[in-house]
C-alpha cells in the first residue's frame, strides 16, 4: 500500500505544466502588451482573473497550500474561489520571463480574511496591493453578470490625461468618448463611471469603484488610471482599449483647435438602435 508521499508524488507526475495553461499564457501576453503600450510603467497596474476549479485542478494539487496571506477586506462572498493575480510591486515587463515570480494562483479562504497561495509569487511575493478593490469589483460585477471573470487596472495614458482637462462628470465624459469614435457607444453603451481621487490600495477606493461597477464596466480613477471588468481577457482589454483610443482622438482634436463637428445625439441614437444596444438613460439628449 502506497504512503501519502508516494500518492502525492504520483499526482504531481500526472499534473500538467501550469505555464502551458491558457490562464497563465493570457496573463503573460496581456501584461506584456499593457507594458508595450506604455500603460503600466514600473510596477503600475494589476490584473485578477477568476478561475474555475476544473481549470486549475489539472495543473495544481488543490490541497497543497504553499502559504496563507492575510487580506485587508472580508472576502467571504468569494470564499473558495480561485484567482490568478499579479503580484504587489511586480513589473509587468518581467511577467513573461518570470511568471512564477510575478503571478500567483490563490484561493479565497473560507474565513474570507485570507487567501491561500497554490502557485507562484516565489520569493515571498504577495498579491497586488489593490486586491481588496479587485475583490470588491468581482463581487459587484458577479451580482449583475455571473459570467464576469476579469478585472484590469491600468494607467491608460490619454484617459489619464483627460482627467486633468475634461469635466469629471460621468455624462459629459461619456458623451465625449462616444463622440470621438463611432464604435464607442456600441462597446460601452452604459458609459463610464468616475470616482473622486482616493488614496490607492485602500478599502475606500475599492468600495467607491465597486459601487460604480453595478452599473458600468469602466471606472475612471482621476489622475491615476482606469478599472475595467469583463467576461474574458479580450473583452476587458478591448473595452479599455476602445475608451483609450477615443481619449487619444480627443487629445488630437483638442490639439488641432477643438471640435468643429461631431456625431450628433440623434446619430448616436440611430447607431444604438442599429446595433441593438441601450445607451445609459439620460445621457443622450434626443
Q: Is the pTM of this model over 0.85?
A: yes
- Residues of each annotated binding site for Zn(2+): 153, 155, 224
Partnered with residue 83 across adjacent β-strands are 50, 106
CB of 37 within 8 A of CB of 160? no
- Residues of each annotated binding site: 153, 155, 224
Locus of grid cell 485602500: 202
* pLDDT one-digit tens code per residue, 78-113: 999 999 999 999 999 999 999 999 999 999 999 999
**Domain residue spans of the chain:** 4-128, 153-275
Q: Which residues contact 71 (CB under 8 A, 6 or more apart)?
A: 108, 112, 113, 114, 115, 131, 132, 135
| From 41, 55, 116, 130, active-site residue | 130
CATH topology of domain 153-275: L-fuculose-1-phosphate Aldolase (3.40.225)
Quick one: CATH architecture of 4-128? 3-Layer(aba) Sandwich (3.40)
* pLDDT one-digit tens code per residue, 116-146: 999 999 999 999 999 999 999 999 999 999 9
Give catalytic status of residue 170 as yes or no.
no
Which pLDDT belongs to residue 16?
78
Q: In angstroms, rounded to a whole number, what is the distance separating the alpha carbons of residues 13 and 30?
A: 29
Q: In angstroms, rounded to a whole number, what is the distance separating the alpha carbons of residues 168 and 220?
A: 9
* pLDDT one-digit tens code per residue, 190-229: 999 999 999 999 999 999 999 999 999 999 999 999 999 9
Question: For residues 162-174, b (16+ Cβ closer than 10 Å) or e, as one string?
Answer: bbeebebebbebb
SS3 category, 70 = strand
* pLDDT one-digit tens code per residue, 11-29: 444 467 999 999 999 999 9
* pLDDT one-digit tens code per residue, 169-180: 999 999 999 999
Q: In angstroms, rounded to a whole number, what is the distance separating the alpha carbons of residues 154 and 9?
A: 40
Chain centre to alpha carbon of residue 88: 15
Q: Which residues contact 3 (CB under 8 A, 6 or more apart)?
A: none
Instruction: Please check whether the two domains, 4-128 and 153-275, share a CATH topology.
Output: yes
Mean pLDDT computed over 38-46: 96
Is residue 7 pLDDT above 70, yes or no? Answer: no
Amino acid at each position: 500500500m502506497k504512503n501519502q508521499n508516494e500518492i502525492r508524488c504520483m499526482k504531481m507526475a500526472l499534473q500538467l505544466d501550469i505555464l502551458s495553461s491558457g490562464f497563465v499564457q493570457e496573463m503573460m501576453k496581456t501584461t506584456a502588451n499593457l507594458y508595450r503600450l506604455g500603460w503600466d510603467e514600473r510596477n503600475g497596474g494589476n490584473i485578477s482573473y477568476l478561475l474555475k476549479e476544473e481549470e486549475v485542478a489539472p495543473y495544481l494539487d488543490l490541497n497543497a497550500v504553499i502559504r496563507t496571506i492575510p487580506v485587508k477586506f472580508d472576502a467571504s462572498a468569494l470564499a473558495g474561489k480561485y484567482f490568478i493575480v499579479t503580484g504587489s510591486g511586480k513589473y509587468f515587463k518581467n511577467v513573461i520571463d518570470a511568471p512564477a515570480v510575478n503571478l500567483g494562483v490563490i484561493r479565497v479562504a473560507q474565513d474570507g480574511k485570507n487567501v491561500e497561495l497554490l502557485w507562484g509569487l516565489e520569493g515571498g511575493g504577495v498579491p497586488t496591493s489593490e486586491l481588496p478593490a479587485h475583490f470588491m469589483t468581482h463581487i459587484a460585477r458577479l451580482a449583475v453578470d455571473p459570467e464576469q471573470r476579469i478585472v484590469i487596472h491600468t494607467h491608460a495614458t490619454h484617459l489619464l490625461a483627460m482627467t486633468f482637462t475634461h469635466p469629471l462628470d460621468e455624462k459629459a465624459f461619456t458623451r465625449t468618448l462616444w463622440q470621438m469614435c463611432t464604435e464607442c457607444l456600441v462597446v460601452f453603451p452604459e458609459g463610464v463611471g468616475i470616482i473622486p481621487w482616493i488614496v490607492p490600495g485602500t478599502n475606500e477606493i475599492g468600495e467607491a469603484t465597486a459601487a460604480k461597477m453595478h452599473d458600468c464596466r469602466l471606472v475612471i480613477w482621476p489622475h491615476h488610471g482606469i478599472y475595467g471588468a469583463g467576461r474574458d481577457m479580450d473583452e476587458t482589454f478591448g473595452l479599455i482599449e476602445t475608451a483609450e483610443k477615443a481619449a487619444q482622438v480627443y487629445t488630437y482634436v483638442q490639439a488641432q483647435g477643438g471640435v468643429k463637428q461631431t456625431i450628433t445625439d440623434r446619430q448616436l441614437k440611430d447607431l444604438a438602435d442599429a446595433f441593438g444596444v441601450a445607451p445609459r438613460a439620460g445621457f443622450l439628449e434626443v
